[in-house]
Amino acid sequence: MSVLQPVRGTHDLLPEEACRHRLVEELAFDIARRYGFGEIITPIFEFTEVFSRNLGETTDVVAKEMYTFADRSGESLTLRPEGTAGVARAFISGGLSQHLPLKLFYRGPMFRYERPQKGRLRQFHQLGVELLGVEGPQADVEVIALAAHILQALGLKDDVRLELNSLGDADSRAAYRQALVAYLSGHKDKLSKDSLDRMERNPLRVLDSKDEDDKAVVVGAPRMVDYLNDASRRFFEDVQNGLTAAGVAFSINARLVRGLDYYCHTAFEFTTTALGAQGTVLAGGRYDGLIGQMGGPATPGIGWAAGIERLSMLFGGEPPVRRPLAMIPTGASEAAVALTQRLRHAGFAVELGYSGNMKKRLARANKVNARAAVILGEEEWGRQAVAVRDLDTGVQEEVPLAVLEDHLARFR
């Protein structure tokens, strides 16, 4: 361990990457706003129970990935591994049930102690949405259409596909669970130790196993869609019809379950083959039981989260570049400082070289891709003017200080 290295699984976002990261976030939020979503910012840590009680104790996240610590008063706190539980907690503690339906967008860091690899970090970032208070499948359609819209706006339409499944209501899941356990019991010898344990406590988790032997068993498992009762099947059909009406293409993946326990009915993932093993870019589902289970008023919900690092890797767009002006003093530097500040306050981006002769400063102006140089020559200054050189054409003109901003406007 070296304290001068970033902690394993964390990384620094240097300006170019940070810019791309923010661009992805802003683009997503801009579209979410068109669907009526407002931002919620919750703390990055919560009481440990917010996660341990609600995400499911046999899930990977709770069983082995949480950053949990005792604070100085001995309270057990956990750095949030995902966004939904915190939003649900905020909904309850803020008494927001008067304001349904509620459409919330969030973004920020998440923390999971997993094995770091490309696209898998210990501190990563997600953006996501939650739509609370709508029981019907319209909500599912709306949030999935929003997800598809965002991915399309990021230019990822052809790289990602939407997989959809239904976990049904509680009755359907109970029936399916029975069938699944019966099937898995016949293949005990081929299941991993983890899955044998899951089979007892939470058999649906076995479907989500990443173990190759487990996956081979899962291929032959009964399909959840065959165990949906009438109401659940109708719900699932309505979601599919709605998506078709919204112009969102999807395929059914009968093995799709989500990594957390609070889901029911709709479960979905947008996946890509462009990122190697970490193929899921955005995932979500319906969680009607969560808020009630946490002790709040029974409130249906549906949402999704996307990994911003994964989105950024796929996103080909370039952040818009804003070419600055270069201020090049040849004499008194105070005059250059004053003029630089005047232009910055007027809205221009201005690079003021810190040292060097005219030649060096012009080289630096080129390096920062400056659009034009403002040159403070002694002679011009005596006439209350500066020289402005268009760095693309090389054309230079003398410009009176009194009209400098107007003249520079075209270089903004």
Q: Nearest approach, Cβ of 121 to ligand ATP (angstroms)?
A: 4
Q: Of 127 and 221, which has the nearer Cβ to ligand ATP?
A: 127
Q: How far is the CB of 315 from ligand ATP (least distance, A)?
A: 13
CB of 285 to ligand ATP, least distance (A): 9
Least spacing, CB of residue 210 vs ligand ATP, in Å: 7
Separation between Cα atoms, residue 103 and residue 265, nearest integer Å = 19
Dihedral angle, C-alpha 28, 34, 36, 40, nearest 10 °: 30
Do 340 and 402 form a contact (C-beta atoms < 8 A)? Answer: no
Of 112 and 361, the one with the shorter C-beta distance to ligand ATP is 112
Choose between 114 and 135: whose C-beta lies nearer to ligand ATP.
114
Nearer to ligand ATP, 59 or 232 (CB): 59
Q: Which residue is nearest to ligand ATP (CB)?
A: 307
Smallest gap, in angstroms, from Cβ of residue 259 to ligand ATP? Answer: 4
List of residues 6+ apart from 226 with CB closer than 8 A? none
Nearer to ligand ATP, 282 or 290 (CB): 282
CB of 79 to ligand ATP, least distance (A): 13
Instruction: Give the footprint of ligand ATP on this chain (CB under 6 A).
Output: 82, 112, 114, 119-121, 124, 126, 259, 278, 280-283, 305-307, 309-310
Nearest approach in angstroms of CB 290 to ligand ATP is 14
24 vs 375, beta carbon nearer ligand ATP: 24
Which lies closer to ligand ATP via its Cβ, residue 9 or residue 319? 9
Q: Closest by alpha carbon to 259, among 283, 279, 226?
A: 283
Cα(316)–Cα(17) distance, integer angstroms: 12
